Amino acid sequence: MIDHDFNEYFVCGVISTLFVLLVTLILLKWWRFMRALEKVDKLDGRYIFVTGCDSGFGEELCIELDRLGCHVFAGCLTDEGMVNIKDRCSSKVFPIQLDVRHHNSIQRCLQEIRKLIPKNKGLWGLVNNAGICGAVGPTQWLNAGDFKEVLETNLLGAIDVTLSTLPLLKSENKYESCRIVSMTSIMAQFISPGALPYCISKSSLMTFCNCLRLELSYSKIHVSTIQPGAHESNFTKTGLISLQKSWERLSSEEKNLYGLDYYKRISWYERTFLKIFARKSHRKVIEAYIHALLSKAPSRNYIVGYDANVMCLLSLYFPNFILDFLFRITGVVCRPLSS
């Protein structure tokens, strides 16, 4: 009888505890959801540094931040990019020459920012948007220089900019954290054959950001990453051009080893993938950037696009041997002529 009563009390206690935990979790989720909808105030007093503003996501982000009333320091690689930003934005956006591959260029850019920013003010946000597609093609077609070129911009450049900018990041409200937002890619976790240098650069940047977020968790700096899927831009167009260049620089012997059909199949896959999945609108990416920069409760990571979400689920829940099989039967991995 005593054992029976004890069992009843024990079961009731476990159920009650689980119920309380579930309700608490739901309330916390609801509180975070509602807080995420709130934006920080006094946007005209927020100064944000964005890299890679010549075109694409960076250019559109500058325009949107300008529309919202923020002050923006737009890092541009080319003179044409600087002129374009001046023409399309108000006087609150300051285009500055920046090549993230060179430390001296980064220091000159930050020196210019220090001159333009008011005294006792700091940067509210840093956006690591600068990036290149780099060399595309089977790994056997590439060389060490191809990997170095991509890593210098996508990884080492972003790291150098971040470390150099950290002293300028400053929150004026003890209840708010300033922001570091980095553009990675869904390819950081879903490896795409034929784009290994790019995948390595983005997965490494993801690791850097995740570690930095933990190390800065007790400071007033919040670190977010954005992982978009395919989007139509000059960036994606260079991928097809790069694939052609990788093929053309092969020797005649190497071309005979793989066969022209091998190159055509890879090229067809790249074009077909972009035609099916690449989104023309960049709106969702810009919205993710804005939320990461201006929401009172920014997310740690933003996965943007239905293709990116599908790839994320596949990489998390499918065994590698199934993914390898899917790559082969869909033609992502082609058989060379000599195999």
Which residues are within 8 A (CB) of 304 and not within 5 positions of it... i.e. 6 or more apart? 226, 227, 228, 229, 284, 285, 288
Low-confidence stretches of the chain (pLDDT beneath 50): none
pLDDT, position 8: 67
Closest to 334 in 3D by CA, of 233, 243, 235, 199: 243
| Structure token digits, residue 24 | 């608490």
Predicted pLDDT at 283 = 94
Q: How far apart are CA 57 and CA 233, in angstroms?
A: 9
Q: Which fold has domain 43-329?
A: Rossmann fold (3.40.50)
Contact 134, 149 (CB under 8 A): yes
**Burial class of residue 145 (count of CB atoms within 10 Å of its CB; 0-12, 13-18, 19+):** exposed
CA distances from 135 to 116, 155, 204, 286 (A): 37, 15, 17, 26
pLDDT reported for residue 323:
80
Predicted local distance difference test score (pLDDT) of residue 123? 95
What are the strands, taking DSSP E only, across the chain? 47-50, 71-76, 93-97, 125-128, 178-183, 221-228, 301-304
Q: Which of 34, 57, 46 is nearest to 126 (CA)?
A: 46
What is the pTM assigned to this prediction? 0.85
The residue extents of the domains of the chain are: 1-37, 43-329
- Active site residues per annotation: 198
